[in-house]
Amino acid sequence: MIETVNQLSRLREIVGGWKRAGLRVALVPTMGNLHAGHFSLIELARANADRVVASVFVNPTQFGPNEDFAQYPRTPDADRLGLEAAGCDVLWMPAVEQMYPLGTDHATRMRAPGISDVLEGACRPGHFDGVCTVVARLFNQVQPDVAAFGRKDYQQLAVIRQMVADLAFPIEILGAPIVREDDGLARSSRNQYLSAPERALAVELRRTLLQVRDECVAGKPRAAVQAAALARLQAAGFEVDYCEVRLPDLAEPTRDDDGPRVALLAARLGRTRLIDNIEFQVPAR
Ligand code: PAF
């Protein structure tokens, strides 16, 4: 039976007991409103640890002033049931005062420069500082041996890996594959904001990424691939924030030669902002 914990002292007691028994502990950080994507993270965590803690915390410091913090869906009862069914051991659900005892204005902040400032970070200034700030706090609270994050938030995973390496957190970071709907749309808590016509259009994101991959693999120059993708998304009715092909560390490729690539996009349909990505290999010619 899952235990829901909202006091740090109790969390420390449980995790301390596990550690003394020599058990390996995994953390799955979430903002709740859990879906199949999150449950795949729990599965990955279970495969890599003896005990799993999932956190549910809608983190105010990673939302911009005009973003959806207030509307972000909060479904604690369904989340607890889902986590129990998925085999999670502890649900860590801190209140804002537990997470930020000095208040968000006076909280000690984290920042992973460079990688936090491009693509998603350029569109959402301060977003990754808020993510690093809360993830560092969660790491310190739970003290896991391993933590699992979704590859759908590709840049978030890269930012967290940089922070973990830089601060020498003794935590193994796992990236879980993207979970998709049958038509290819990446699972996201924000999909439920889409109207029926928008939901039907949203599949264009995945189709565009597949086109980007195929064109890059076929040797089309990156600039032309990106321009075609942008035109396709705009013609379908998206307001596009970015659609770019990058190296795995998110640096801009200087040539169209062989090697690993990731194509990432963010686009709005009405009031809903969606992100997706695809990782692929450009073959040697
Ligand atoms: O990916 C998310 O849900 C959030 O950014 C995270 C990692 C839980 C931090 O609030």
pLDDT digits (tens, 9 = 90+) for 221-275: 999 999 999 999 999 999 999 999 999 999 999 988 899 999 999 999 999 999 9
| Closest approach atom of ligand 1 to CA 59 | 10
Pocket mutation for ligand 1, best pick of 27, 30, 109 (most atoms within 8 Å of C-beta): 30
Residues 24, 137 within the same domain: yes
pLDDT digits (tens, 9 = 90+) for 101-147: 999 999 999 999 999 999 999 999 999 999 999 999 999 999 999 99
**Active-site entry in 35, 38, 106, 127:** 38
CATH number at 138 reads: 3.40.50.620
Residues 9, 131 within the same domain: yes
Distance of CA 230 to the CA centre of its chain: 23
| Residue 182 within a domain | no
The residue range of the domain holding 75 is 3-176
Q: Is 127 a catalytic residue?
A: no
| Residue 284 within a domain | no
Q: Count structural domains, the chain.
A: 2
Please compute the mean of the pLDDT values over residues 78-89 and round it to a whole number. Answer: 98
* Ligand 1 surroundings by CB, under 6 angstroms: 29-31, 59, 62, 131, 134-135, 153, 156
Distance of CA 70 to the CA centre of its chain: 19
Predicted pLDDT of residue 244 = 98
| Residue 161 within a domain | yes
In sign, the C-alpha dihedral spanning 96, 131, 79, 91 is negative
Predicted pLDDT of residue 257 = 83
| Residue 9 within a domain | yes
Predicted pLDDT of residue 267 = 98
Evaluate if residue 285 carries a pLDDT over 90.
Answer: no
Residues 8, 94 within the same domain: yes
Residues 51, 132 within the same domain: yes
Q: What are the phi and psi torsion angles at 274 (to 5°)?
A: -120, 150
Residues 239, 209 within the same domain: yes
Distance of CA 15 to the CA centre of its chain: 24
| Residue 181 within a domain | no
Measured in Å, residue 48 CA sits from the centre of ligand 1 at: 20
CATH number at 264 reads: 3.30.1300.10
pLDDT digits (tens, 9 = 90+) for 175-214: 999 999 999 999 999 999 999 999 999 999 999 999 999 9
| Residue 254 within a domain | yes
Q: Give residue 255's identity as a one-letter amino acid code.
A: R
